[in-house]
Structure formats: structure tokens, C-alpha cells
Amino acid sequence: VTASAETLEKLEALVWDYQQACEAGTDEQISAADIAFHETIARAAHNQTLIELLQMLSDWTQLFIQFIKHNKTSAAPSQGHRRILDAIRAGNKEDAAAAMRQHLLNGKQSVIRRLREQLEPTASEVPLDFPNAW
């Protein structure tokens, strides 16, 4: 993972924007900052397929963020972006990939937890890693 100084600067600003949005912003601001962060990484990687996929999923991202309702007092949502950026800055593609996988897994688990809250008590038996292929 090699990123230009300009890309690193942009990602740093986006991590800050995302953190601020998570703390005091609207769902729309949170999703816009989240999408911009991921798209910037995809563009820096010159991954056109991922760029197009992220653009197609942007509406879903907004829905997920509205659904999970970030805890405004927690730094956890922005920590995932920070870990990804730190690994990219260090040029460590294995750590960057691992941080991204963990970030996506955390998002998936947040959605599952929220679903559990909304469903009947028997839904609490659904494991956090369900479905594995997701």
C-alpha cells in the first residue's frame, strides 16, 4: 500500500470529518464521511471495480448508518478508519487489509446487534458471525 502525501492528507481529513460527524453530526454527515473515506482508498488503489461497487452501495451505507445509530459518545466508529489510515501510512498492506476486514466485520456486527434489539427475544440466539458469507 503506497499512498501519495496528498492522499494521506485527504484521508487524514476524512478521518477527522468522520470522527466529528460520529460525535455530533447527522446520519447523512456520517455516511458521507464514511463513503468518502472508502472511495478515496479505492481511488488511491486505482480499483475501478471497487469504486463502482462503493458508489452502488452508498445508499445502503446510508441506510445502515441510520439503522445502527452510532453511539455519539463513543470513539469506536472512527477508530476503524484511524487503524486503516495508520496502516496505509506505514505502507503495511497486510495490516491495512486486516484493519479493513475488522472494520467491515465491526459494521456487520453492529447491524446484527441492532437487528437483535428489534426482533423477538429468540433472535438473540443468532450468532454474531451469521451469515459467514456476508
User: CA–CA separation, 37 vs 31, rounded Å?
Assistant: 10
pLDDT value at residue 91: 94
Mean pLDDT calculated for residue range 52-58 = 88
CATH code reported for the domain at 5-124: 1.20.120.530
pLDDT value at residue 73: 47
On average, the pLDDT of the chain sits at 83
**Nine-digit cell string for 91:** 505502507
Is there a cis peptide before residue 127, judged by omega within 30 degrees of 0?
A: no
User: CA–CA separation, 65 vs 114, rounded Å?
Assistant: 11
Of the candidates 120, 87, 124, 83, the one whose C-alpha atom is nearest the C-alpha of residue 105 is: 83
pLDDT for 41 beyond 90 = yes
**Helix, coil or strand: residue 29:** helix
Domain definitions of the chain by residue range: 5-124
